[in-house]
A and B are shown apart, each in its own frame.
Chain A
Amino acid sequence: MRGEGWLEPADVRFGVALPDERGARGAWNAWDAVGAFAASAGPAGTLELPLESFLSRAGDAAALAAALPAGVDLCLRLGPDFIGPALMGGRAAFGGAGTSGAARATEASLAFAAAGASGAAEGAGSVEAAYLRAVAACRRAADDPALGGRVVAYLLEFPNSIPYGPAARRHLDRALRDLAGLSLTVAFYGADWYSVRVVEGLKERGAALCLLDLPRGPTGLPAIDVATAPLVYVKRWGGDSLEAWVPRLEALAIRAERLRVLVAARGASPGDVLAAARQAAAMRTAWVLRAGAGAEPRCAGDGASDLTLRAAVAPEEGF
């Protein structure tokens, strides 16, 4: 049945999400991590990094593009300025009761950056101005010739501290309109965003729901797979096992034109990045092996002799 009129296989890539680590002057400070990723990456991987990583200095975009193998594409994580207006609305709930380790790490980085970038005392006006600057910067990055059209996704993250509500929903709607035309994916770390209204709203606006894989626990998120746009974006924080994910990816790939699977690095040190790269490589290996088992997954870079990520697959992580 699958052979008859079957759909084109999706473009599937695996990669690493780098954290938002900043130096003393507030500039992004994880170039070593990019270097470590570049050293381990094959011809067709993917890398998620904060938009601000190359906005602070002229020429950083070109340097980034040059540092990575030509086939590696980029996913840009939009900074806290993009959610500043919603964060102002949801500040009462900020720091809500217990979050999982991974979510807490993300939230801490977002909260830190929000405080640094916008400043609680600066008021709504400056938050609004920061948001508008961020949108303009995002548009510039999309048109930046140095990146040569390598950006495949823009990730907007709503931390657990922003609960679903009228103000947050309006801000999401506005952000999606302001960034229309870009390949957007939205991650919600709060469970109250997972309603049919949000899912259908994302579908209508052509934005992808980022599928988060957080450790299951009393405050975690349910395991959810759904494709709301041609792009499907999976971000792993260490939830389900590798074995469980491969069939999930296969089902998702049917509905996707592009599937990106990112493993979040715990830190920006080369060791953390390499550990994440190994996990990504193990997932890709499992994915490619599944093709040999009769399924039809296809991966960018197939046919090349090396895997997307050259990092050796640790024996305990392989199948």
Chain B
Amino acid sequence: MGGTILHINAVGLMAALEEGMDRSLRGRPFVIAREGAPRAVVLDLSPEAHRGGIARGMMLSLAQRRFPGLAVRPPRPERCRAADEAMWKVGMSFSPLVERAGQGHLYVDLAGTERISGPPQDAVQKIRLRILDETGVSPALALSSNKTVSKVATRVFRPGGFIALMPHEERGLVRLQPVELLPGVGPALKDRLNLLDIDDIGGIADLSSFEARAIGPRGPDLVARAQCVDESPVNPEPPERRCMREGILLEPDTIEPEPLRLRILYLAERLGFAARREGLGGRRLTLRLDYSDGRFASATARQPWLLAGDSEISEAAWALARRAMERRVRVRRLSVELSDLGSAGPELDLFEPADAKAQRLQTVLDRVHGKYGLFALTPCAFLGAGIAPPAEAFAGT
């Protein structure tokens, strides 16, 4: 009996969709970027471009110097969203347990679907062909007994590969792979592990419990995952119910604090508005900065109370940004995530709270934004600094 947890990994979704639309791109190095934008960066790329040394986040001008005549195609976020939705629908037609794990990533639990769709390995092939039919994309697929193993496996056999693992084959395959393929190992931890001569996931799996705790609070969990132990279920709850996220691409990128602060304010407004519209607030706030050189930094804070107001979210996010920003490198992208959500309905206080005026203002602002859109009222700070409201913000990045 093999595993039933399928991971679908449409790596380079933007590039794959572009290649599906234009056959002349097949086998050629090309990138997705906003050509003509100041300090434009590579947003996605073909495998051939990747093999040629181009990476996501690289300056487009540098990529073009490296590959004279490099084909550049503009980003089409609406197509990505449509393809992502189509993939999710295909998954849902095979199992009710489908988890969205970012754009182009899905987990599908095929347990108990054998009488309808056949053995999981055959069902995977049907899913593969359905996705191909409906999106033109051939994602990598891996079938195993848990989410971690499936995710590592799709990273090995991408793009477009397939692997079905029996439980006894999982450890052997996962141990061999480089540490950066294990979910949870980022560039910083990878550097630390390399200092200890740990290059493969097997090296993490062999760490003692004392050593695991030395990695950090999530060390034991990381070691368990390296040992292919992951009991997290496929969670069909949509991500917008688990967390709320807003992001913004900074074009041009910047290192100046004031433009960054204003954009964080903008993100906090959007996030706060989205949360309040659902009657929600969040206890955990995470801010992530993506630098122009492709590296990133993030910081998280957990509050004892629910964050729901614009001002409290923006203040907390700005504090996190100052904590996370340790490098003197331009920032290309900012994202703020509100999680650990809870109901943030009005509380019935015996006395009027001290910040009643602020709350009333917030309510009025929400009404205006709800009726006329977010750009109907723009903070003076944006105008005073000569910063137009950002043209594009993207959720779920």
Collect the chain A residues with CB atoms within 8 Å of residue B22's CB.
Answer: 5
Contact of B169 among A7, A222, A244 (CB under 8 A): A222
Contact assessment for B129 and A247 in the assembled complex, using a CB-CB cutoff below 8 Å: yes
| B51 at the binding interface (Cβ < 8 Å) | yes
> What separation, in Å, do the CA atoms of A137 and B212 have in the docked complex?
54
Collect the chain B residues with CB atoms within 8 Å of residue A225's CB.
Answer: 157, 161-163
Q: How many positions in chain A have a CB within 8 Å of any CB in the partner chain?
A: 37
| B283 at the binding interface (Cβ < 8 Å) | no
Instruction: Say whether, besides A6-B23, A7-B26, A192-B172, A244 and B122 are in contact (CB < 8 Å).
Output: yes
> What separation, in Å, do the CA atoms of A1 and B129 have in the docked complex?
12
| A191 at the binding interface (Cβ < 8 Å) | yes
> What separation, in Å, do the CA atoms of A4 and B17 have in the docked complex?
11
Give the interface segment out of B65-73, B130-138, B246-254: B130-138
The smallest beta-carbon distance between A170 and chain B, in angstroms, is 17
Contact assessment for B156 and A227 in the assembled complex, using a CB-CB cutoff below 8 Å: no
Instruction: Say whether, besides A224-B157, A251-B160, A4 and B136 are in contact (CB < 8 Å).
Output: yes
> What separation, in Å, do the CA atoms of A1 and B132 have in the docked complex?
8
Count chain B CB atoms within 10 A of each CB in A5, A204, A254 and give the residue with the most. Answer: A5
Within 8 A of A (CB), among B105-159: 121-122, 125-126, 128-129, 132-136, 138, 155-157
The smallest beta-carbon distance between B359 and chain A, in angstroms, is 49
Closest B residue to A218 by beta carbon equals B168
> What separation, in Å, do the CA atoms of A248 and B125 have in the docked complex?
7
| A194 at the binding interface (Cβ < 8 Å) | yes
Give the interface segment out of B33-41, B91-99, B174-182, B224-232: B174-182
Contact of B178 among A5, A196, A204 (CB under 8 A): A196
Contact assessment for A247 and B178 in the assembled complex, using a CB-CB cutoff below 8 Å: no
The smallest beta-carbon distance between A289 and chain B, in angstroms, is 15
Contact assessment for B157 and A226 in the assembled complex, using a CB-CB cutoff below 8 Å: yes
> What separation, in Å, do the CA atoms of A301 and B169 have in the docked complex?
39
Q: How many positions in chain B have a CB within 8 Å of any CB in the partner chain?
A: 38
> What separation, in Å, do the CA atoms of A157 and B138 have in the docked complex?
28
Main secondary structure of the interface of B (DSSP, over half): helix
Contact of B129 among A164, A196, A243, A250 (CB under 8 A): A250
| A2 at the binding interface (Cβ < 8 Å) | yes
Collect the chain A residues with CB atoms within 8 Å of residue B136's CB.
Answer: 1-2, 4, 6
| A133 at the binding interface (Cβ < 8 Å) | no
Collect the chain B residues with CB atoms within 8 Å of residue A191's CB.
Answer: 169, 172-173
The smallest beta-carbon distance between A190 and chain B, in angstroms, is 10
| B377 at the binding interface (Cβ < 8 Å) | no
Closest B residue to A8 by beta carbon equals B23
| A13 at the binding interface (Cβ < 8 Å) | no
| A278 at the binding interface (Cβ < 8 Å) | no
| A175 at the binding interface (Cβ < 8 Å) | no
Collect the chain B residues with CB atoms within 8 Å of residue A4's CB.
Answer: 20-21, 136
Contact assessment for B138 and A254 in the assembled complex, using a CB-CB cutoff below 8 Å: yes
Contact assessment for B162 and A196 in the assembled complex, using a CB-CB cutoff below 8 Å: no
User: Which 9 pairs, one residue from A and one from B, show the smallest C-beta to C-beta distance?
Assistant: A226-B161, A247-B125, A195-B176, A225-B162, A223-B164, A196-B156, A226-B157, A1-B136, A5-B23
Spell out B's residues near A (CB within 8 Å). 20-23, 26-27, 47, 51, 121-122, 125-126, 128-129, 132-136, 138, 155-157, 160-166, 168-169, 172-173, 176-178, 181
List 12 additional contacts besides A192-B176, A225-B157, A244-B125; criterion CB under 8 Å.
Answer: A7-B23, A7-B26, A191-B173, A194-B156, A197-B178, A223-B121, A223-B164, A224-B163, A225-B162, A244-B122, A254-B138, A254-B160
Q: Provide a sorted-by-A list of 10 A–B residue pairs whose CB atoms are within 8 angstroms.
A: A1-B133, A4-B20, A4-B136, A195-B176, A222-B163, A224-B157, A247-B126, A248-B162, A251-B129, A251-B162
